[in-house]
Structure 1
Amino acid sequence: MVCSLLNSCASKIISNYQMTKEAVVSIPQELIQILLAVAIRDGQTPATKVLISSWPYQVLNLRTVVKIMNFSLRSIKHDIVITILNVVVGVEGCKVKFVDLQGFELNCLQMQNCLQAMINGFKPDSQCKRVIFDWSVDADNYSIVSKAMKKFSEGSQVELLCGKLSAEGLSENKLIKLIKYLKNDVAQGLNLSLNHLKNEGLIKVLPHLDRLSNLRCLDLSYNVFNLTLSNGDSLCKCFKEVFTSLRKLQDISLNYNRITGRMLDIISPLKTPVRLLKLDSCYLNAGDLSFLGNTMDISNLEVLDLSGNALSSYIQSLENLLLRSGNSLIKLTLAGTSLGDHEHSLTMLTRVAKGFKKLKFFSVQFNNFGREEQVPLVCAFASIKSMNEMKITEIRDEMGIDESDEAYNLALRIGGVPRDLSKYKDALDRAGCCDMFDLEIKDEEHGDLFVDPSDYGINYANL
């Protein structure tokens, strides 16, 4: 009741420019925080400008502000962020000296607009400011980023800092230049996916990371480097030297690069147990699975993605990996791993399910499993108390539906195949899972979502 009244009063005040101006000179400082939170949430640009100009503190942390009214950074309009930056660097008398906008998601165009607003609004005689947010850089906005960094760097009255850098579609030289702008103790995340980095390109880029002592997340997915037992010794040496220096690195994404027989060389130098490991479509072999399943420190592993790797020949190593990570794993993805080719894979998965303590999400799609095989699997994973989402597929031949049938083709066009899913409902009932358990079932061959014609009380994922 009190929160609702507070929200209503704040919304009324910030909706009127004159009322907002009068409020900032007469209300307690803690109430100004509430007004700012509501103004940001509601996208009230004039009120936001007044409140930032009158902000009574030297630090403005956007995450702290949104917590006051319990809404997400994702819901904030980027125009509001432009207003905040423009006021901080351009309004005389603004007390804010440090602005933390980390966590707010900007695409490349929005980031360009934010930086241009800072350049346009900057007053050379303003007090020293520090501004930190997450950068998104591509070929289109690279020039404005470079311009802003030259203008707002160490020694300037405004210091522009980066918490997480995401750079896409850039040459090695441009990536190196961006990385050099990063502050050792500030940068925590680096996403270099989709830059077409080959072995020789990555060898140029990686050494520039070793000074980023606070780096926790590194994404090198969707590049084109190639590491096999007969190729890539120089790059492996480079990985080893850099990963030895990055003592806080714990999230690693290497998806869609060839890494065959080299996981030991890449991962073993790390000083911190891995928290996130994404190896989708990396062509892993027996040696890689053996290292992951028996040697690697996975005491803190929370997210594991092995999708797109043929794992049917490495069932024992996979079982060891899943058993050893049972106390910590939260998200597990084994889609398209050819597990259906091994007669004991479903038995193994059902067995290891009992050891998961925190697992919330599990995908075993596109492994050529039929319904009768998967019902016990669904029951086993739905029995995990923490589980709330599972994704599976079924072989089309088991549907008993004539593909030439007009109703069948119509069902495909509207997004699914009508069928009886009662066995899965029975499995969920036996598991005693709550009504909010999300079981997604798709056609193995085409990925069409099956639609249950009757209401079984299961929340099936929408298309």
Structure 2
Amino acid sequence: MQSLVFLCARRLLSHRPSARRALPVLPSELYPVLFRAAFLDNRVLALQDLVVSWPFPVLSLPCLLGRCGHEQHRGHRAVPACRVCIQALIAAVMAHVGPQQPPSARPCQLRLLDLTGLQDDAPGPDRAPEGMSLWSGTAALAKACLEASRRQAEHRQRHSKRRRGPSGCSSLPRAITVEIRADLFVNGTSFGILRDALRATGCPLRLRCRDLHAEELSAGAIVALLECLDPGGVRRVDLRFNNLGLAGLCLVVPELSRFPELLSLKLPYSNVDARRQAAGADAGFRRLATHLGKLRALRELNLGSSRLSGKMRQLLRNLESPLESLELAFCYLLPGDLTFLSQSIHAPALKKLDLSGHPFTESLLQPLCSLLESSPSLIHLDLMECQLTDPRLEALLPSLCRCSRLRCLGLFGNPLSTPGLKTLLRQTAVLRDLCLVVYPYPVDCYNREPPQAPVASSGILQDTLDEERFTAVSAELCRMLVSSGRDNAMWTASLCRHGTLDYFAL
């Protein structure tokens, strides 16, 4: 429900001339609610008026929009990145730091603009027409910094040519500087402009990074970018699809020790293969492990989709503080790797664990049970595409049910039957916090039939989902949840509803 103050703010902003005249005499305490109303209604001119007379040193979107009374903004959800609103904010801040600031009856006090936590509205069928991707927002900020730097340089050049007073000297007014904190997304297309923006000297806009996401960059480009970042405030580095290999990681990871607050390091799809017997591979793993051990604040590590068979002990043993999130999907782990994890300092501290893509046959199943029994703090567990059959899942359930804090469980892609899912639902009734289970389509809901012409003559059978049978199974699972008093839990076979918990929301 919207507050009366919010409704009044929305009504005032509906008529810009009246709002603009009222701003100088309104109490400063009303500016946050006016900002929320302007942002939610996409009133870009009103947003600019508010920014150029902002009465506080900090303007933080996560704080201002986190409790606006609208469902999509509640809790830990990301702030929706409205393209026109973000562009309006950037333009207003550029005007504020410009050589000729716009006239305002109330001088702007802004020194910090916090744009972190914006939802990445990436291109796709569900993208809102007015949305802005994280990549586009990063490019817009980089361009703004370069433009502000250019204007400042031109103003200094013009000012230096002027002669005032008997001494012939002229004093340049002290420039206003605004720090912009943001999450940055960069790839090969935007690398150059972001690097130049971070390197710009004397720029009145100082771009600071909280979370860095980089894709499809070389190791040298990533190192160059990391060298440009201010060491303070960087909490996550996410490097995916960069094909770095072991040699590339040995170049990049040492640079991360510059960031004392680095909590999360994601290195999926890095193309590391422990099976390769290339010269220097053992030395490379030792070097990588040494530099991982220097990341004193590290709490989350993602090494997904690299072949790390037999390397867990070597890679993680130098970490002095326990990890709370560990993602090792499709890493071809061996029983000894899971045994090490179950006996390590990390197991009792783990809140999130992803072991998807490992075939949990008898040789891996017992070490997995030991790991789960050693991880009582586990909140999020992914075991997708792990060849878990009904008997294997039943053998796993006693250990799984000891994870009393478990909230999310991912089992999609496993060959489970309807009776197996019912057993899972009944046995996990003791997990009172379990609110999301992503289960697979039951194997008994598939029909085996020959493919359609023209390849039917090949005799090859294919599986097709019996939608009616699956709908009946889904309805029965829902009835079981209601009858057991867990009607608030969601059991779904839709990966779109997966809702993977981010480490910072655990």
| Shared fold per TM-score greater than 0.5 | yes
- Pairing partner for 1:99 from 113, 131, 153: 113
Residue in 2 aligned with 1:110?
A: 137
* Pairwise CA distance, 1:439: 1.7
Superposed CA deviations along residues 192-214 of structure 1, whole A, max 9, x for unmatched, are 11101111111121111112111
Residue in 2 aligned with 1:26?
A: 25
CA RMSD of aligned residues (A): 3.0
C-alpha distance in 1, partners of 2:216/2:22?
Answer: 48
Deviates more, 1:421-430 or 1:66-75: 421-430
Q: Secondary structure at the match of 2:79?
A: helix
Residue in 1 aligned with 2:366?
A: 316
**Distance of aligned partners of 1:18 and 1:429 in 2 relative to their CA distance in 1, 3 Å threshold:** closer
Aligned residue-pair number: 435
* Pairwise CA distance, 1:441: 4.1
Superposed CA deviations along residues 32-69 of structure 1, whole A, max 9, x for unmatched, are 11101211222211000000111111122221111342
- What are the equivalent positions in structure 2 for 1:61-460 lying under 5 Å apart? 61-71=60-70, 72=73, 73-91=78-96, 92=101, 94-105=108-119, 106-121=133-148, 123-124=151-152, 126-151=175-200, 153=201, 156-228=203-275, 232-312=281-361, 313-326=363-376, 328-340=377-389, 343=391, 345-394=392-441, 396=443, 398-399=444-445, 403=449, 418=470, 420-421=472-473, 424-425=477-478, 427-429=480-482, 431-434=484-487, 436-441=488-493
Superposed CA deviations along residues 352-392 of structure 1, whole A, max 9, x for unmatched, are 24322221111223332222233211222244211121122
**Distance of aligned partners of 1:416 and 1:177 in 2 relative to their CA distance in 1, 3 Å threshold:** farther
Unmatched tracts of structure 2, length 5 or more = 102-106, 120-132, 153-173, 453-462, 500-506
Larger Rg: 2
Q: Could you tell me whether the CA contact under 8 Å between 2:407 and 2:436 is conserved in 1?
A: yes
Q: Secondary structure at the match of 2:183?
A: strand
Matched letter for residue 4 of structure 2: L
C-alpha distance in 1, partners of 2:467/2:228?
Answer: 47
* Pairwise CA distance, 1:74: 3.1
**Distance of aligned partners of 1:238 and 1:40 in 2 relative to their CA distance in 1, 3 Å threshold:** farther
Runs of 4+ in structure 1 off by over 6 angstroms are: 411-416
Q: Secondary structure at the match of 2:370?
A: helix
C-alpha distance in 2, partners of 1:117/1:132?
Answer: 14
* Pairwise CA distance, 1:277: 0.9
* Pairwise CA distance, 1:287: 1.4
C-alpha distance in 1, partners of 2:318/2:31?
Answer: 49
**Distance of aligned partners of 1:163 and 1:417 in 2 relative to their CA distance in 1, 3 Å threshold:** same
**Distance of aligned partners of 1:204 and 1:121 in 2 relative to their CA distance in 1, 3 Å threshold:** closer
Unmatched tracts of structure 1, length 5 or more = 450-458
* Pairwise CA distance, 1:191: 0.6
Q: TM-score, normalised by structure 2?
A: 0.79
Q: TM-score, normalised by structure 1?
A: 0.85
Superposed CA deviations along residues 239-285 of structure 1, whole A, max 9, x for unmatched, are 22222221111111111111111111112222322121111100001
**Distance of aligned partners of 1:413 and 1:392 in 2 relative to their CA distance in 1, 3 Å threshold:** closer
Q: Could you tell me whether the CA contact under 8 Å between 2:246 and 2:285 is conserved in 1?
A: no
Q: Percent identity?
A: 23
